[in-house]
Amino acid sequence: MITYEIWGKVRQFLAKSGIACEELLWTISGGKAPKALFSERANPEKINTSVKVLKSDSYSTDIAKFDKDGNISDEDFVILTSTDFHLDEDPDLNAKTIGNFVRQIKDNKPDLIVLTGDIILSKYQQVDAIKFAKMMEKLGIYWTAVFGNHEVREEKGFYKWLLLKGFSGYEHCLVKHGPEDLFGYGNHTINIIGKEGKLRKTLFMFDSGRDITPSTRAEYGIPEEQRGYDFLKKEQIAFYENEIKRLREKYGEVKSFMYMHIPLCEYREIFDGSEKEGFVPSGKGKLLYGRMYESVGCSSYNSGMFDKIIELGSTQAVYSGHDHVNDWAAEYKGVYLVYNQAANYTEYHLGHKTDLPESEWMQGVTLTRIHSDGSFDLVQSLNSKYL
């Protein structure tokens, strides 16, 4: 890790120096070049926030919303979520993706932003991660993120560590590297505190990995022919359980949300059908809104996180990304399963999968409004309104 720190500082210094040169060129050219500077093309502007950090440790952050008199408030707390930006080498599509995302933030003025993976995929990933984080810092809204399956091709390696470092080096980023004994990087929690020190919601962030590896297959006894996407590991599930128990000892009742990139296997229960024939609600869950155009891209192995959610009775909603043309939310066994609205115009979307006009595409953000009594609402906010 010492080597990581030294080499990481060198890499980040070089990246930030390069970005400074790009920003200077942007100023000199009157905002005409370089096109790759998507962070400036989005025109981020400071948004006042009434949220403050109360305390922070190695894997957790406590935040609260304050009223105009400087007291902790229980008024509605809005979380804006989005996913799958897939920022790559196409400067114009990157600018469209980020421009609409920033516009949604300006319009909705959330208290917190949560991103569920596959954000930066470009050849210059470490540089673009810093550009993205600088842009978010200009907005001045607290935000956090989890990794997707495309960001890096490693689980505990240097480049994944450095990518997280590029995000977390700014005041308004709440991303944590998380406990070292857990799978991946970025496993962390955020506690939203209310009046009299009560816990309004705990947010669990998990690295859901990439693909099932040979070592994972051996550890879990997964047959060779059973391949596909990764899953939450037993140590992550144990961390979740232990944290719920710890919080209950401190606060009593604990209600929570969970965020990851690859959806849980239980998402498959909501629809029947196929991509060729189409999908229809299965009747096993209550569909709240949204559409389904592709099969659920979950793991072929169910590690039991949803069973643990039911057992503990804390988590009210699970948010994921990964499947760009699914944007539904449904209640299943008392838990909301939610696909965040995808943000990207670079990777596949409804414009590639169907002949639907852009006015019917899914890109946008998902808004979760937590009320003073602990209840919450889910709302889609689509980019099509900006056409």
Within the chain, strands assigned E span 51-56, 60-65, 77-82, 112-116, 143-146, 188-193, 199-205, 256-259, 271-274, 278-281, 286-289, 315-320, 329-332, 335-339, 364-370, 376-382
Check whether 384 has a pLDDT greater than 80: yes
Specify the DSSP class assigned to residue 38: H
* Residue 372, pLDDT score: 95
Burial class from Cβ neighbours inside 10 Å (0-12, 13-18, 19+) for residue 79 reads: buried
Based on DSSP, count helices (H) and strands (E) in the chain, helices before strands.
9, 16
The sheet with strand 329-332 has its strands ordered as 51-56, 60-65, 188-193, 199-205, 256-259, 315-320, 335-339, 329-332, 286-289
Please tell me the distance from the alpha carbon of residue 296 to that of residue 261, in angstroms, as a whole number. Answer: 12
Considering only residues 319 and 160, tell me which one the structure prediction assigns the higher pLDDT: 319
Report the percentage of the chain scoring pLDDT > 90. Answer: 78
Examine the pLDDT at 2 and tell me if it is beyond 80. Answer: no
pLDDT of residue 1: 66
Q: For the chain, give the percent of residues with pLDDT over 70.
A: 99
The predicted-structure confidence for 299-311, as pLDDT tens digits, reads as follows 999 999 999 999 9
How confident is the model over 239-254, as a mean pLDDT? 97
Strand partners, 377: 369
The angle that helices 305-312 and 234-251 make with each other, rounded to 10 degrees, is: 20
Q: Is pLDDT of 203 > 70?
A: yes
pLDDT of residue 31: 86
Lowest mean pLDDT among 123-127, 191-195, 220-224, 356-360: 123-127
Give the number of residues written for the chain.
387
The pLDDT of 202-230, averaged and rounded, is 93
